[in-house]
Amino acid sequence: MSDETPVSVTMQKDGDVAVVIVNNPPVNALSWHVRQGLKDNFEAALADGGVKAIVLRCDGATFIAGADISEFGKPPRGPDFNAVLNMIEASSKPVVAAIHGTALGGGLETALVCHYRVAVPSAKLGVPEVKLGLLPGAGGTQRLPRVVGVEAAATMTSLGDPLPAAKAKDLGLVDELAGEDSLAADAIAYARAKIADGPRPTRNRAVFGDVAVIEQLKTANAKRWRGFEAPYANLACVEAATRLPFDEGLAFEREQFMKLMFGSQSAAQRHIFFAERQAAKIDGLPKNTQLRDIRKVGVIGAGTMGGGISMNFLQKGIPVTIVEMQQEALDRGVGVIRKNYDASAAKGRFKPEQVDQMMGILTPTLNLDDLADCDLIIEAVYEDMGVKKDIFGKLDTIAKPGAILASNTSYLDVDEIATATSRPGDVLGMHFFSPANVMKLLEVVRGDKTAPDALATAMAIGKKIGKVAVVAGVCDGFIGNRMLKPRQVEAMKLLMEGATPAQVDKVHVEFGMPMGPFQMSDLAGVDIGWHRDPNRIESIRDALCAEGRWGQKKQAGFYDYDEKRNPSESARVAELIEQFRAKAGVEKREITDQEIIERTLYPMVNEGALILTEGKAQRASDIDVVWIYGYGWPVYRGGPMFWAGLEGTDKIVAALEKHGFEVAPLLKEKAEAKTGF
């Protein structure tokens, strides 16, 4: 081993058992120096006549959690992973994997070439590669069917969810459960007991189970896997294991792995893996920033948003005081929370006693003064600046010193709201997405005067309640809704010029969005932001609203809906569009799908470039995270800014200029340099 190789693998001896220990914080990823260390130490253990059995374990929080994803796409370094694994599997001495934390991906593949596996009950074992647009590329798809059978292997690889140790033991993936605090000793004892049995190479075991599960998984997950390549590649490899000799199956797996590895989908999904973690970091945050303690939360407004927001905290055991102005609204809001929890309990997500517990720490009140002991207060009332400033003015006197005062506003100026208080440092935005107890995105809006510790606390509590929190700057629509605007404006123009709502939506759905602009408008409500004057008809939308076509909630919007909310194209809407087109003297023309992409998606990239230049997002990858987790942008396209790199920023600029858009300087720069963001 050359001297510049970091020492991340060592070996200890316990009598006739060698213990190989990996120590590569934070997750013991299989970085090149780990592979090198495994090779060197196993070679030493195998050459040592006094060693009769070998234990592989890890220091730190977890067993090996996979290949080092940060190495992907870089020049290969250190020994080939498969070669190291084959050496371990071919060991003439029994090898036992001692598992704690999460044995994931290449980590589980390493455990699979060990002849036996011992795990603590709290351990989890899985192959999440599919979530990175990959598949287990070190024999996992060929060895799992030989240990847990085809059904479990197909499910594990194509869905990527880890198994708890007990379930893994039921499946034969774990041979013995160790004591939570005695894993090393138990694994050594287990290894010693296996000396007589000797090694049990996984590759020599027979595949078993029913291959029919593969088609069943495809049918059951068709909607969820729409547009994804990796789930199907995983299943193809497991299917290959049922009919090919091991080495041929390994070769097939390798070929499928390389295809995915060098494809755009995995690059996109790996980008989002890191982007999501990067989003949690606040650039320039003073090192010694202390988080404020959030023991109790106040929520003002018990409507859809206030109720959903409250649920996030209740299910993490954080007490909530929820305030409404009228008893009837308060009772209705609390009733909806209870109903939602009961529905989740009926699906097995909560036990009935958990629902009672959560409802037990919810305190409904009509009195704003009852928020005096809250550490975080989230206002979720009507989107009106006057109403919000009035509330924040009152909170200024009611809330205790140091309480964070957050508005759930989806676009209003947080700095202006802060002027209603004498403590602008405590004021920020926490923009949840509806339904707030389901959608993962949380835009944390940083006001000019927001204190760093208040911002850091809001980001941390967002993560604690299971959200993906992203820092946004104050501007109209922050990050997500600001980019939605040009998309919606152009979509409406396309209707005037000859496209139909169904054509525009179809292009977006085929692109991978869960729904198109008009389906989204019908779902959210066509009347959101409408001036409410049925006699003032200045746009197609005004005309729809004036006729009560407010969307799904009225069984009519851009589409007609039956009682099950199944949409159908509306002759009335076509007539309205025709009338507007005639009045405006616009000639209907054929609109291509490509033009729809260029005029609805490219302007989003343009707006994202402006957001970056104005400093309203910390980094381009934050914008991607917003669109993946807030709007369902297909993760295999990596988010708008990442996708711009795949699409070609030069191609985007050329199209935007062709359609008469003013191109953001930063986007122009990228186009000239022929790079992405």
Is 463 a residue that touches ligand T1G (CB under 6 A)?
no
Cβ closest to ligand T1G, residue 266 vs residue 450: 266
CB of 375 to ligand T1G, least distance (A): 24
Chain centroid to CA 329: 34
Helix (H) or strand (E) holding 429: strand 427-432
Q: How far is the CB of 347 from ligand T1G (least distance, A)?
A: 25
Q: Which one of residues 3, 26, 223, 564 is an interface residue with ligand T1G (CB under 6 A)?
A: 26
How far is it, in rounded angstroms, from Cα 316 to Cα 312? 7
For residue 105, the minimal CB distance to ligand T1G (Å) is 3
Compute the least distance from the CB of residue 588 to ligand T1G, in Å.
Answer: 50
Q: How far is the CB of 99 from ligand T1G (least distance, A)?
A: 13
Backbone angles phi, psi at 124, to 5 degrees: -130, 145
Interface mask (CB under 6 A) for ligand T1G, residues 260-279, using x and -? Answer: --------------x--x--
The only residue of 56, 58, 130, 132 in contact with ligand T1G, by rule CB under 6 A = 132
Residue 37 interacting with ligand T1G (CB under 6 A)? no
**Catalytic residue selected from 43, 71, 89, 129:** 129
Nearer to ligand T1G, 435 or 466 (CB): 466
Continuous segment of H or E residues that includes residue 232: helix 230-241
Tell the smallest beta-carbon distance from residue 471 to ligand T1G (Å).
Answer: 15
Question: Stretches 101-109, 352-360, 573-581, 643-651: which one binds ligand T1G (CB under 6 A)?
Answer: 101-109
**DSSP-derived pairing of the beta strands 9-14 and 17-22:** antiparallel
What CA–CA distance (Å, rounded) separates 567 from 509? 15
Burial of residue 389 (number of CB atoms within 10 Å: 0-12, 13-18, 19+): middle
Q: Pull the structure tokens for residue 268.
A: 């996109």
| Binding of residue 462 to ligand T1G (CB under 6 A) | no
In 248-373, DSSP assigns E strands to: 297-300, 320-323, 362-365
* Contact region with ligand T1G (CB under 6 A), list: 132-140, 301-309, 423-431, 557-565: 132-140
Burial, 485: exposed, middle or buried (Cβ in 10 Å; 0-12, 13-18, 19+)? middle
Tell me which of 43, 71, 89, 109 is the catalytic residue: 109
Which residues are bridge partners to 300 per DSSP?
Answer: 323, 379
The residue within the footprint of ligand T1G, chosen from 9, 11, 58, 65 (CB under 6 A), is 65
When binding is defined by CB under 6 A, the residue of 89, 129, 151, 324 that contacts ligand T1G is 129
Residue 495: which of 605, 594, 576, 604 has the closest Cα?
576
Q: Which of residues 277-316 bind ligand T1G (CB under 6 A)?
A: 277
State the DSSP string of 69-124: GGGTTS---SS-HHHHHHHHHT-SS-EEEEE-SEEETHHHHHHHHSSEEEE-TT-E
User: Which residue of 69, 177, 336, 345 would you call a contact of ligand T1G, by CB under 6 A?
Assistant: 69
Q: Which of 10, 12, 70, 122 binds ligand T1G (CB under 6 A)?
A: 70
| Type of residue found at 230 | A
Residue selected from 105, 306, 424, 462 as contacting ligand T1G according to rule CB under 6 A: 105
| Minimum CB distance to ligand T1G smaller for 69 or for 489 | 69
Contact 3, 36 (CB under 8 A): no
Q: How far is CA 436 from CA 308, 381, 465, 566, in A?
A: 5, 14, 11, 24
Answer yes or no whether residue 237 interacts with ligand T1G by CB under 6 A. no
Q: Does 68 bind ligand T1G (CB under 6 A)?
A: yes
* CB 72 to ligand T1G: min, Å: 8
Question: Is 215 designated active site?
Answer: no
Q: Please, what is the angle between helix 230-241 and helix 149-159, to 10°?
A: 160
Instruction: By CB under 6 A, name the one of 18, 42, 94, 109 that touches ligand T1G.
Output: 109
Closest to 501 in 3D by CA, of 516, 483, 486: 516
Q: How far is the CB of 619 from ligand T1G (least distance, A)?
A: 13
672 is catalytic: no
Is 67 one of the binding residues for ligand T1G (CB under 6 A)? yes
Give CA–CA dist 549/480, Å, rounded: 26
Number of neighbours of residue 415 by Cβ within 10 angstroms: 17
Q: Please give the full DSSP string across 566-622, using - where no structure is assigned.
A: -EEE-HHHHHHHHHHHHHHTPPP----HHHHHHHHTHHHHHHHHHHHHTTSBS-HHH
- Which part of the chain contacts ligand T1G (CB under 6 A), choosing from 99-107, 146-154, 241-249, 390-398? 99-107
CB of 70 vs ligand T1G, minimal distance in Å: 5
Does residue 88 belong to the site contacting ligand T1G (CB under 6 A)?
Answer: no
For 209, what's the count of Cα atoms within 13 Å in the CB-facing half-sphere?
A: 23
Q: Which of 137, 298, 424, 477 binds ligand T1G (CB under 6 A)?
A: 137
Question: Between 105 and 634, whose beta carbon lies closer to ligand T1G?
Answer: 105
Count of residues near ligand T1G by CB under 6 A: 24
Q: Which helix (H) or strand (E) covers residue 405, if one does?
A: strand 404-407
Q: Does 230 bind ligand T1G (CB under 6 A)?
A: no
**Dist. CA 228–CA 132, nearest whole Å:** 11
Report the alpha-carbon distance of residue 612 to residue 107 in Å, rounded. 38
Which residue, 86 or 488, is less far from ligand T1G as judged by CB?
86
Minimum distance from residue 301 beta carbon to ligand T1G (Å): 32
Considering only 37, 94, 136, 645, the residue that binds ligand T1G (CB under 6 A) is 136
Site residues for ligand T1G per CB under 6 A: 26-27, 29, 65-70, 102, 104-106, 109, 128-129, 132, 134, 136-138, 140, 274, 277
User: Which positions are catalytic?
Assistant: 109, 129
